[in-house]
Structure 1
């Protein structure tokens, strides 16, 4: 359990005190951060996502390598750099919608989404389209380097989750322009499961460790329940710590805001309610983990890979919380770009203002 933490919110938004967060998982971290940081910096230059020193400083300020180390402590020296690159790519793609006018332009956002989807393989082979921008090149490069050597079943699952994540921005933009359509907390969390890219990064646990959770275990009700509980826990954590920044920006896609509106309550009551919900989901994860032995017909190797996958989920839950509490990404009134964001976004998206 963590001590009570005070969250400072944006001007004009009532502050709240964060209750103690139930977290039964011990913190861990990878020892390979120095190599990951060096390779990430080089990859940002090579991809065009970090062609300027300011863009690369954004990664340093938001601590993408630290997030990789905390959430994937069992990644090898070879795979942790790739994980860090995935995180930077996912954050860059998200910022294109949240921090630029693209996120309020259906035509341009659709071009951005479908351009990214287009470089992904339809059947495990080459992508349908050649990359036409740094953001597309980065995605195509990461998919190729990640998928190589992974089993076909994993590649199909991972690519499906990645496509669902990319296309979830269509609903996010509709909610931003037309008003959020999901009026209750359960409906919002269901939508959030794809929008947060959490399923995608959970698939990367297997790549990072060089394993594949076997189909009988991965498809079991127990493992699927654990995945769902872990996804919800991570999404709720992110929404708690990003609430102030998002409310400052006028965003409504946050479980605390949904709780405020649905319950007709103050931010303090909303965060207490949402924190209780997160505790419930974390305890559901624990209960399901105790039932993992009920998944039968696993050979010793498959049992080991299943347990490694569960350990990876636990590390992701805890690492995400530790990173979220300190990252400048979620801090209101903090510009991690120093005012040069707009030109960079046009450059990496390949979409000019008039496109």
Structure 2
């Protein structure tokens, strides 16, 4: 949108710079495709993509990210490899969730895209410094690389416009890895807690720093992708190569969810979080002081939100408790579907 008021110079609205830290991963692939679509539409500038080890190893998350960017027809995007595992404990891989290589049944093409020589933590810092107060950071995998970036640049919370994290579970909602923990946090709770501590310190000295925004299972499990939606994506995309590969990947995700009693469907957390990062006004949030339990025998990985001020600390986080859009998560996935279908 441009301003054509008399006496005001008109020009294009600056695009919001976005950095995605992901661990592809099937629902990460949807998030990547959605952000590429928004970049190509001129809504954002996909300024960087960091790959972190997640359900599968770093080599696979990097290869997958580069391949999904190619399939989505992305312009040159700076991609860097980040943490190869959790920062303080042995990393637990779970190929049964997303497939042996992290792409389900999809056979991804090889790519000629070049990987940036910088470490992913350096890319976090360099991109934030290049866009002070403007960069939107999105984390859809473990916080391992972000925790390392905070060591390199403790001022990172003040450099970001906002941080949106897919992680944790709140308000008593059950976990998906232990009774109280969500996988992204459970696999590296020390890293997630470092993020909480960094925003705690930043907001204690500068209350204008935006709290980190956390999207937990209590919200993201509402983002249910079905075989019917996959068929719709392929149909609307006119059978594009991207849509067919996504459908193949998602078929594995359906099978996984069915095997654990959820039904033949997929909870696609990451595209919902990516959409919310670009539409912050659609989130209904609650300010809390957040810490991650790193020692409990039965509670390790638990996201412990102080909603009543017991700790006497200012809120370092906002937990997203609902969406203000008609139709909720279903409507968001429809928008994501249409955006991805345009990539043909």
- TM value normalised by structure 1: 0.31
Higher strand share: 2
Q: Which structure is higher in RCO with an 8 Å CA cutoff and minimum separation 6?
A: 1
Higher helix share: 1
